[in-house]
Structure 1
Amino acid sequence: MTSTETTIDERTDLLEALATRRQFLRYTVQGLTDDQARQRTTASALCLGGLVKHVAEVERGWADFILEGPSAMAGGWDGEEPTQEVIDSWSAKFQLLPDETLAGVLAEYEEVARRTDELVRTLPDLGVSHPLPEAPWFEKGKRWSFRQVFLHIIGETTQHAGHADIIRESLDGQKTMG
């Protein structure tokens, strides 16, 4: 097998994994009203519309990281104890706000997904890496290859699709699987 065939297979695998995980999340929110997408149904502060919004934002941030390096993720952790304003701003990223719609966040998610998929298809080398930004949740001095970033997006989407499934089942009994 040539390296070109390996690259094509790897990229196809990444694209299929991304598509499958995204579809789990989209399926979980199908048929909901905006009010249902805002509703909290568990002890968590998470809601279905907010999860879609969050996953789109995280994926966009990691795609920016690939294109621009760690500076694209600046503005996150500055080492200081967060103010209430920062906490409120962070919490809003997990909510479907009154001026937002589920259709709107799903459309934004589609745009983000198209951009990420294009990166998977066109980056010359998935082994290129950038240093991770300074944050307590990243090992100091650690670098991630573009491949690792895509795997992280897959993991993040999978994790939140599971959260969404629990919230949806609590809302109206619908299950994504089973």
Structure 2
Amino acid sequence: MTTPTPTLTGERADLLETLAVHRAFLRHTVAGLTDEQAATRTTVSELCLGGLIKHVAGVEASWMRFATGDPDAMTMDEGDWTGQFRMLDGETLESLLAAYEEVARTTDALVATLDLDDSYPLPPAPWFEPGARRSVRRVLLHVIAETSQHAGHADIIRESLDGAKTMG
């Protein structure tokens, strides 16, 4: 027997609702695309629509592992930096969206149970202040910002691809 997910209210509900809205924008932007279209770079950047889905899912998964106290969650192989923004051989838009959906389910379940005030030290990195910590709440705000930012990138790429717009 599975335990039903509790109905969330207040801050937790607001955080998840905001994240859900931006996830939906990102998913809507890739609706109806072929794998070839999803892998197409339409600007001078390395970004493609499938790669953005993969990147956002990976970032969300890493930050949520960090939010559970996993100190290794924020380490990344620098050699694979550009690979996270592209669709690689064998990857499909359908599989990337399925992986993103699984990450979203995990995040939503964690938000229901984690203490938003818990905080963990950030690893040494040029983009983190030495000795800085992040609370679970701040991690969620970062995931929302990251998803929102990349949903905007996706909208530009999609419009460049075939003229479709997420909004407007």
1:49-128 aligned within 5 A = 49-75=50-76, 86=79, 89-123=80-114, 125-128=115-118
User: Partner residue of 2:43?
Assistant: 42
Q: How far apart, CA to CA, are the structure 2 residues paired with 1:64 and 1:58?
A: 10
- Which one has the bigger helix percentage? 1
CA contact (8 A) 2:74 2:123 kept: yes
1:159 aligns with 2:149: yes
| Kept in 2: contact 1:21–1:157 (CA 8 A) | yes
Normalising to structure 2: TM-score of the pair?
A: 0.92
In structure 1, the residue matched to 2:21 is: 20
Any idea what the Cα deviations from partners look like across 1:74-114, whole Å, max 9, x if unmatched?
345xxxxx6xxx1xx21111101121000000000000000
Structure 1 contact 69–131 (Cα < 8 Å) conserved: no
Structure 1 residue 68: Cα displacement: 2.9
**1:31-54 superposed Cα distances (whole Å, 9 cap, x missing partner):** 000000000101111000000000
Q: CA deviation at 1:168?
A: 0.1
How far, CA to CA, are the matches of 1:15 and 1:150 in structure 2?
A: 9
For the residue of structure 1 that corresponds to 2:73, the secondary structure is: helix
Per the normalisation by structure 1, the TM-score is 0.87
User: What letter is aligned with 1:146?
Assistant: V
Partner of 2:11: 10
CA-based RMSD of the aligned residues comes to 1.3
Residues of 1 paired with 2:143 and 2:43: CA distance? 25
| Number of residue-to-residue matches in the alignment | 161
Q: Structure 2, unaligned stretches of length 5 or more?
A: 1-7
Aligned match for 1:141, one of 128, 131, 134: 131
Which is greater in Rg?
1
- Unpaired runs of 5+ residues, structure 1, are 1-6, 77-81
Deviations 1:109-139 (A, max 9, x none): 000000001111111x201100111100011
Conserved 8 A contact 1:51-1:164: yes
